[in-house]
C-alpha cells in the first residue's frame, strides 16, 4: 500500500433521490426519514457507509487488504476470531464450542507480550478496509480485556439532510399475482398495496478525513483515500433498488488542507458552499433546478478545492 495520508480533508457529498425512499425509518413504518420540525429529509451516516462498503466489496472482490468487516452473511465474531487465531490463541474447542478459558489465556499472553494489543489491531486494520477507514467496535476483543476493541477511524460522516423539505407520498400499487390459492379459486383478480416515496429530494452530507488519526491508529493511505472518493462517487451504482428510486451522486466537493491538522475550521469552508433553487423554480424535480456555487475567494490559499463528479 502507499504511504499514510499527510493532509486533512473536509468534504461535502451532494446527491439526490427521484421517486424513491432514500432511507426508510423503522420507527415510522419504514417511511422516508424526515425532520419533524423542518420537514427536511434525512439519511443516516450508517446508510451511506453501507453503500460505500458495498461498492468496495464489489470493486475489490475480497482482495487482500480490502475485505469488509461489517458485511451481510458473516458474523463480526468470526472476523474477530481470525485475529486471535493468528496470534496462536485457541478460540474454539475441537467440538466447535467456545473456549471458556480464552480470557485467561489472553491475560497470560498479554503479561508476557505487551505488543499483543497492537498486533491484533494491526491485523484488523491491515485486512479490513472499513476498519481502516471508519474504525469499529469489536466486542470479542472488548469482553476479553483487549485494549484494541475500539478503533477510531480517520473517515467520519454525518447525517445527510435535504436542501428543501420533502413530501413523502403513499402510492397505491396492484399486482395480478395472488398470494393464497383460496383467493385464486374465489376468482380474486389482483391484490393491492402501498409504496411510499418522495418525488424528489436533493441532499448534502458533510464528511472529514483526519491525517492525524490515520497516522496514529489505522494507517489509512493515499491509495485508500483514492478508493474512498471512487466509492463515494459510485456508491449508488451497485446498489440500485426499485424502492429507493433513482439515486445519484451529483457532486463531491473536497477541501484539501496542506497540513496534517488543517489550516482553518471546517465550518468556515462549508459555509462557502451555497445550494439554492434557480430563479423561477418553485417545486424542484431535478438536479438542474438547483445551482451549486462555491465562494472560492473566501477559501484560504492553504486549502485546495477539488471538484469530483
Say how many domains are in the chain: 1
Asked whether residue 80 is domain-assigned, the answer is no
Dihedral angle computed from the Cα positions of residues 214, 215, 220 and 223, in that order, rounded to the nearest 10 degrees: 130
What does the pLDDT look like over 53-87, one tens digit per residue? Answer: 999 999 999 999 999 999 988 888 788 888 888 88
Q: Are 7 and 211 in contact (CB under 8 A)?
A: yes
CA distance 98 to 82: 14
The per-residue pLDDT for range 124-134, each reduced to its tens digit, is 999 999 999 99
Lowest-confidence segment of 143-147, 168-172, 265-269, 286-290 by average pLDDT: 143-147
Domain extent for 269: 9-66+152-171+195-308
* pLDDT score of 1 more than 70: no
**Which pLDDT score, from 0 to 100, does residue 55 have?**
97
Q: How confident is the model at residue 224 (pLDDT cuts 50, 70, 90)?
A: very high
Residue 185 has pLDDT above 90, yes or no: no
Alpha-carbon distance of 65 to 49, in angstroms, equals 18
pTM, whole model, 2 decimals?
Answer: 0.91
148 near 117, Cβ under 8 Å?
yes
Per the CB < 8 A criterion, the answer to whether 123 and 69 are in contact is: no
Contact 58, 236 (CB under 8 A): no
Instruction: Answer yes or no: is 157 within a domain.
Output: yes
pLDDT at 191: 79
Highest mean pLDDT among 20-29, 88-97, 144-153, 285-294 belongs to 285-294
* In a domain? residue 243: yes
Distance CA 89, CA 109 (A): 9
> 124 and 142 in contact (C-beta within 8 Å)?
no
The mean per-residue pLDDT over the stretch 125-145 comes to 87
Comparing 2-6, 109-113, 124-128, 209-213, the range with the smallest average pLDDT is 109-113
Percent of the chain with pLDDT over 70: 96
Does residue 185 sit within a domain? no
Please report whether residue 125 resides in a domain. Answer: no
β-pair partners for 151: 136
pLDDT in tens, 106-126: 777 777 777 888 888 899 999
Task: Give the chain's length.
Answer: 309
300 in a structural domain: yes
The pLDDT score that the predictor gives to residue 93 is 67
CB atoms within 10 A of CB 119: 13
Q: Is residue 179 part of a domain?
A: no
In-domain check, residue 207: yes
Q: By C-alpha distance, which of 192, 194, 187 is closest to 174?
A: 192
Which of the two residues, 196 and 13, has the higher pLDDT score? 13
Amino acid at each position: 500500500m502507499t504511504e499514510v495520508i499527510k493532509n486533512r480533508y473536509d468534504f461535502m457529498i451532494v446527491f439526490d433521490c427521484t421517486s424513491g425512499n432514500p432511507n426508510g425509518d423503522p420507527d415510522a413504518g419504514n417511511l422516508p426519514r424526515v425532520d419533524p420540525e423542518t420537514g427536511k429529509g434525512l439519511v443516516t451516516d450508517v446508510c451511506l457507509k453501507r453503500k460505500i462498503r458495498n461498492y468496495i466489496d464489489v470493486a475489490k472482490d475480497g482482495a487482500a487488504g480490502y475485505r469488509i468487516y461489517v458485511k451481510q452473511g458473516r458474523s463480526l465474531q468470526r472476523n474477530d476470531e481470525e485475529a486471535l487465531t493468528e496470534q496462536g490463541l485457541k478460540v474454539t474447542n475441537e467440538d466447535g464450542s467456545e473456549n471458556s478459558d480464552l480470557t485467561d489465556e489472553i491475560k497470560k499472553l498479554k503479561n508476557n507480550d505487551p505488543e499483543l494489543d497492537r498486533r491484533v489491531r494491526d491485523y484488523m486494520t491491515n485486512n479490513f478496509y472499513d476498519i481502516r477507514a471508519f474504525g469499529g467496535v469489536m466486542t470479542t476483543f472488548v469482553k476479553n480485556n483487549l485494549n484494541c476493541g475500539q478503533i477510531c477511524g480517520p473517515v467520519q460522516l454525518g447525517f445527510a439532510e435535504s436542501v428543501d423539505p420533502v413530501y413523502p407520498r403513499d402510492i397505491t400499487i396492484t399486482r395480478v399475482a395472488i398470494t393464497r390459492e383460496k383467493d385464486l379459486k374465489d376468482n380474486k383478480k389482483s391484490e393491492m398495496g402501498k409504496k411510499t416515496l418522495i418525488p424528489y429530494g436533493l441532499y448534502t452530507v458533510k464528511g472529514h478525513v483526519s491525517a492525524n488519526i490515520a497516522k496514529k491508529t489505522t494507517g489509512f493511505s493515499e491509495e485508500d483515500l483514492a478508493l474512498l472518493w471512487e466509492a463515494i462517487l459510485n456508491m449508488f451504482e451497485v446498489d440500485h433498488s426499485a424502492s429507493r428510486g433513482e439515486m445519484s451522486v451529483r457532486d463531491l466537493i473536497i477541501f484539501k488542507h496542506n497540513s496534517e491538522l488543517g489550516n482553518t475550521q471546517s465550518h468556515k469552508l462549508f459555509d462557502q458552499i451555497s445550494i439554492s433553487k434557480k430563479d423561477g423554480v418553485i417545486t424542484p424535480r431535478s438536479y438542474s433546478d438547483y445551482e451549486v456555487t462555491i465562494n472560492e475567494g473566501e477559501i484560504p490559499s492553504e486549502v485546495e478545492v477539488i471538484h469530483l463528479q
